[in-house]
Amino acid sequence: MISPVPSPVRARTAGVLLHPTSLPGPYGVGDFGPAARAWVDTLAAAGQTWWQLLPLTPPGEGDSPYQAFSAFAANPVLISPDDLITDGLLEASDIAGEHFGPGRVDYPHVNRFKATRLHRAWERFRVGAAAQLKATYTTFRKKQAAWLDDFALFMALKESRPGVPWTDWPEELVQRDPAALKRAADTLAEAVDRVRFTQFLVFRQLAALRHYARERGVKLMGDLPIFISAESADVWAHPEYFELDARRCPRVVAGVPPDFFCTTGQRWGNPHYNWKAMRRDGFAWWVARLTATLAEVDFVRLDHFRGFEAYWEVPASCPTAEVGRWVKAPGAALFTALRTALGGLPLIAEDLGEITPEVDELRLGFGLPGMRILQFAFGGAVEDRFLPHGYERNCAVYTGTHDNDTTAGWYAGLTPAELAALRRYVPGVDRDPVGELLRVAWASVADFAIAPLQDVLGLGTEARMNLPGTETGNWSWRFTADMLDPDRLERLAELTATYGRRPTPATA
């Protein structure tokens, strides 16, 4: 039994969920440059405290930020070419002649464009351009070496073997023979250094954006996936922390059993952790991971919190997540170690899905705010705990998340019975369905109230970010500057002021 800690006293705050790739701009994908700063200004003008992001790690399979090549690295696609020009690493002619439409992200096109320009930036830096960055780059390399060296070699090896999983590399590289690693690092030295420098650039721009936001009273809220991709530098470099077979392939994989989103369950395919090994060194990898993340953002949404109490284990040979079993996770031991190391737990627990009393006990025992999704109160996976009259203050209410349809799209698909229940609870909902759901969220007692930008703008299903259980067509939505309807932004500002959620000097 975990004794619950008192809920912290927090100011009421509000924010908007928007991944940086969804920002507008001339390069086919959002980045940390001018459009991001303009978005911060928009949030500040609307009285928002939080800009909530999806994971900033480099996406792997399916362009998903939840299937990353590293738990520590950042996505190079988010580097702003405009800011590289300001630094003296690119020239205006380097980005001329490439044309992108304003719509969804074409990741193959964007990835080629950004990789080519980052290669040019590295080549210029090697021959003396942007000399003012040399000392800070050297410091970055030294400070981040614990993860950066393995990641850089991993990505250089992947680049030299396109499309080949690391488990199919030569055996001496799979098993990390020291002599083989040294030979590979020497052979691929230029590519390894380029990866290091690229990480320096993306973290430098992220730090500058965070500073810009803080000056305007806006904080960044990150997102930490519970699991790591099998095709990642972390699994390659630290196989002892994962449940792998002799060939370094996962014995069992992560997912969730059949649910509202998918009748066959969701088979994510990530390897499970070897929690016994992690416990032996005091969960050092998790401490390092949370420490690194909190150096980038001010607060963190902890994905799939349920899996820290018990996780769904699927045999790697099974094509779906229908067959599996619940296995106990370290729970309190892990969070005690994290709280001791970090001096606190600035986390929101994503407590969605099949939540047991043991999961609630773990969350409440560490005073973590949970998540309440308004859509789940009235339509689809309906649960009473999502009805606002039952909220505790120590929670975060969302109209929907990146995994939900937009609220406009959701409302259009409600059954007659669901619509009748919604009308009883929100009598004026037919006049402005999205606006009224925003009002209900902002008026609730929840400490945090957050909505995806798609809901702030009243957009339909065409603007959905992700459809769980599907492998293509996700993570690519972008908005254009003309979508930022001044009337809707003014309404957001009004709601935020009316319900006492504007930042104060003490919370900014």
Catalytic sites, residue numbers:
303, 350, 403
Q: Which residues contact 92 (CB under 8 A, 6 or more apart)?
A: 85
Element (H, E) at 58: none
Gap between the Cα atoms of 182 and 161, Å rounded: 17
Residue 25: other Cβ atoms inside 10 A: 21
Supply the DSSP symbol for 314: E
Q: Which residues contact 266 (CB under 8 A, 6 or more apart)?
A: 255, 256, 259, 321, 468, 469
Gap between the Cα atoms of 355 and 250, Å rounded: 26
| CA dihedral of 313, 316, 321, 327, whole degrees rounded to 10 | 0
Is 375:410 a contact under the CB 8 Å cutoff?
Answer: yes
Instruction: Enumerate long-range contacts of 323-327, CB under 8 Å, 24 or more apart.
Output: 324/255, 324/257, 324/265, 327/272
CA 248 to chain centre: 26
Q: Name the maximum alpha-carbon separation found in the chain.
A: 71
CA 151 to chain centre: 19
Does residue 263 sit in helix, strand or coil? coil
- Nearest to 485, CA basis, from 477, 476, 493: 493
Gap between the Cα atoms of 4 and 370, Å rounded: 14
- Nearest to 30, CA basis, from 485, 478, 484: 478
- At residue 370, what are phi and psi to the nearest 5 degrees? -95, -175
Q: Which residues pair with 16 in a beta bridge?
A: 51, 451
Residue 398: other Cβ atoms inside 10 A: 27
